[in-house]
């Protein structure tokens, strides 16, 4: 039997540790900008949104009560990500649950398609746990594709990574800030927010305006028509601010979408 120190220093353990530290560094340096600018699943959702617009179908939104209920799902999934491996360690769950979220994540099935690999699109009946997880994975993938077509960033509302990022957002170096004294509550920032974050317009008290559903896309900053109300800073140094002058120019950019797009 392998000694604990050998397991800890094995190539597999070291590669897991490197992956974990890389993600941690990303969270601490760039906050949730991973979601806005790097995540493959986020990008694929944006492509599906682009396709929907091309075929002229309007997108859906949640009502505020629906939004408030649905946003809690990501915390349930985060608990699954954390507790399932512990359950495996305690011998309560089969080994398949060690990577439960990876098993049910749409990325497991969709990303290999880009290299023509369809092997993940199957049900695994080797054990009861594998059958359950691969079935849930197929259902989630179907929901991801259909949901993202009709709802912008559909999956991001439920993503446990989003909840995990948020845990580190207070110590992150990149920050989304607001000067509420200058806010006119015009709502332009809310209108361009794919994540339907109402606080971005309504909250005039918080300086740190990043919320748990935020994908740090900065569209709100670009859409704000007032000087220095919304801004992004990096270690307290402003790198992108809302400005009256820039507003008109920015509104012509394709990336700024109105709610009725
Ligand atoms: S919320 Fe999740 S799926 Fe969405 S962009 Fe962030 S990490 Fe990717
Ligand atoms: S767009 Fe700017 S001024 Fe208008 S509600 Fe949002 S933060 Fe306030
Ligand atoms: S609050 Fe701003 S940065 Fe966050 S998701 Fe909405 S538009 Fe993007």
* Least distant ligand from the CA of 230: 2
The pLDDT of residue 10 is 66
Tens digits of residue pLDDT in 242-252: 998 877 766 66
* 86 C-alpha to ligand 2 centroid (Å): 44
Residue 71 is encoded by which pair of tokens? 């946003």
Q: Is 246 in the pocket of ligand 2 (CB under 6 A)?
A: no
pLDDT value at 260 more than 50? no
User: Is 103:134 a contact under the CB 8 Å cutoff?
Assistant: yes
pLDDT value at 261 more than 60? no
* Least distant ligand from the CA of 186: 2
How many percent of the chain have pLDDT more than 90? Answer: 61
Three-state secondary structure string covering the chain: CCCHHHHHCCHHHHHHHHHHHHHHHHHHHHCCHHHHHCCHHHHHHHHHHHHHHHCCCCCCCCCHHHHHHHCCHHHHHHHHHHHHHHHHHCCCCCHHHHHHHHHHCHHHHHHHHHHCCCCCCCCCCCCHHHHHHHHHHHHHHHHHHHHHHHCCCCHHHCCHHHHHHHHCHHHCCEEEEECHHHCCCCCHHHHHCCCCCCHHHHCCCCCECCCCCCCCCCHHHHHCCCCCCEEEEECCEEEEECCHHHHHHHHCCCCCCCCCC
Confidence at 16, pLDDT banded by 50, 70, 90:
low
What residues does each domain of the chain span? 22-164, 176-260
Tens digits of residue pLDDT in 178-231: 999 999 999 999 999 999 999 999 999 999 999 999 999 999 999 999 999 999
Ligand 3, atom 4, lies closest to the CA of 214
Tens digits of residue pLDDT in 88-107: 888 888 888 888 888 889 99
> Which pTM was predicted?
0.86
* Least distant ligand from the CA of 34: 1
* 147 C-alpha to ligand 3 centroid (Å): 20
Q: Is 31 in the pocket of ligand 1 (CB under 6 A)?
A: no
The pLDDT of residue 135 is 94
Q: Is 249 in the pocket of ligand 2 (CB under 6 A)?
A: no
């Amino acid at each position: 039997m392998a000694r604990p120190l050998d397991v800890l220093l094995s190539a597999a353990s070291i590669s897991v540790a490197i992956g974990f530290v890389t993600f941690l560094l990303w969270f601490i340096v760039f906050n949730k900008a991973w979601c806005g600018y790097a995540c493959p699943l986020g990008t694929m959702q944006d492509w599906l949104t682009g396709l929907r617009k091309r075929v002229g179908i309007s997108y859906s939104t949640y009502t505020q009560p629906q939004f408030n209920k649905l946003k809690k799902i990501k915390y349930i999934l985060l608990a699954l990500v954390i507790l399932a491996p512990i359950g495996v360690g305690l011998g309560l769950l089969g080994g398949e649950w060690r990577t439960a979220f990876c098993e049910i994540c749409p990325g497991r099935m969709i990303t290999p398609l880009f290299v023509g690999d369809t092997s993940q699109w199957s049900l695994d009946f080797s054990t009861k746990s594998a059958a359950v997880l691969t079935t849930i994975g197929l259902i989630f993938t179907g929901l991801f594709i259909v949901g993202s077509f009709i709802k912008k960033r559909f999956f991001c509302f439920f993503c446990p990574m989003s909840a995990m990022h948020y845990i580190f957002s207070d110590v992150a170096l990149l920050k989304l800030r607001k000067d509420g004294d200058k806010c006119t509550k015009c709502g332009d920032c809310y209108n361009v927010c794919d994540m339907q974050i109402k606080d971005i317009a309504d909250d005039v008290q918080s300086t740190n305006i990043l919320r748990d559903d935020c994908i740090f896309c900065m569209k709100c900053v670009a859409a704000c028509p007032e000087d220095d109300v919304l801004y992004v800073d990096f270690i307290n140094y402003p790198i992108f601010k809302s400005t009256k002058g820039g507003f008109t120019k920015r509104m012509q950019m394709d990336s700024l979408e109105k709610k009725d797009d």
